[in-house]
Amino acid sequence: MSKYASKQFWTDTADRVIATTAQAAVAVLTANATGLLDVDFLEVASVSGLAGAVALLTSIAFRGGAEAQE
């Protein structure tokens, strides 16, 4: 069975993407250290979205995992 057909793979991938996106958002928000009204939320969304996309692509491209252990 392909790792891409596994529900566990997609659950783990979604968890990783959500965590990475949230971490990137926190990093951008705290790096600016400005008030809430001064935050450029488009920039936060852009950087966080890119980090999430990289996490997704990394999970898909990673060749290890369950198949390598069998």
Overall domain count for the chain: 1
Residue 31 belongs to a domain: yes
Residue 14 belongs to a domain: yes
Q: pLDDT band for position 70 (50/70/90)? A: very low
Residue 45 belongs to a domain: yes
Question: What 3-state class would DSSP assign to 61?
Answer: helix
So what's the pLDDT on residue 69? 46
Longest pairwise C-alpha distance within the chain? 52
Chain position carrying tokens 């993407």: 17
Residue 18 belongs to a domain: yes
pLDDT beyond 50 at 68: no
Amino acid identity of residue 55, one-letter, is: A
- For 20-63, the pLDDT digits (tens) are 999 999 999 888 667 777 888 999 999 999 999 999 999 999 86
DSSP 26: H
More confident residue, 30 or 1: 30
Cα separation, 5 vs 23, in Å, equals 28
Nearest to 44 by CA among 65, 62, 30: 30
